[in-house]
Amino acid sequence: GNSVTQMEGPVTLSEEAFLTINCTYTATGYPSLFWYVQYPGEGLQLLLKATKADDKGSNKGFEATYRKETTSFHLEKGSVQVSDSAVYFCARASNAGGTSYGKLTFGQGTILTVHP
């Protein structure tokens, strides 16, 4: 079945450090891939997405590239800020037909804490 695996956290960084959060997915079909972010006390917000191989999603300084050969969608940011402290979720949806189209499968989430 579909699954998503994220690197285990928590991740603690100093401000302006480089961030990588690894995410791999099962290669069933050609799924759309997403990163969602959940700030304390808030709901999930879409951070970025990619819908086909070699696509790069980007937003707010975050980037992730859809790598079909390694079935990965790692999240990166060159210089994190304290305000980036949140929980980050990698997710996949299926682009195949049928009733599962659009249903999201999430990773377990990675807690990021950025210190000044």
Interface with other proteins, residue 24, by CB under 8 A: no
Q: Which of residues 85-114 bind other proteins (CB under 8 A)?
A: 89, 91, 93, 95, 99-109
Query: With contact defined as beta carbons under 8 Å apart, do 32 and 50 qualify?
Result: yes
Q: Which is nearer to other proteins, 27 or 96 (CB)?
A: 96
Interface with other proteins, residue 46, by CB under 8 A: yes
Q: Which of residues 25-44 bind other proteins (CB under 8 A)?
A: 32, 34, 36, 42-44
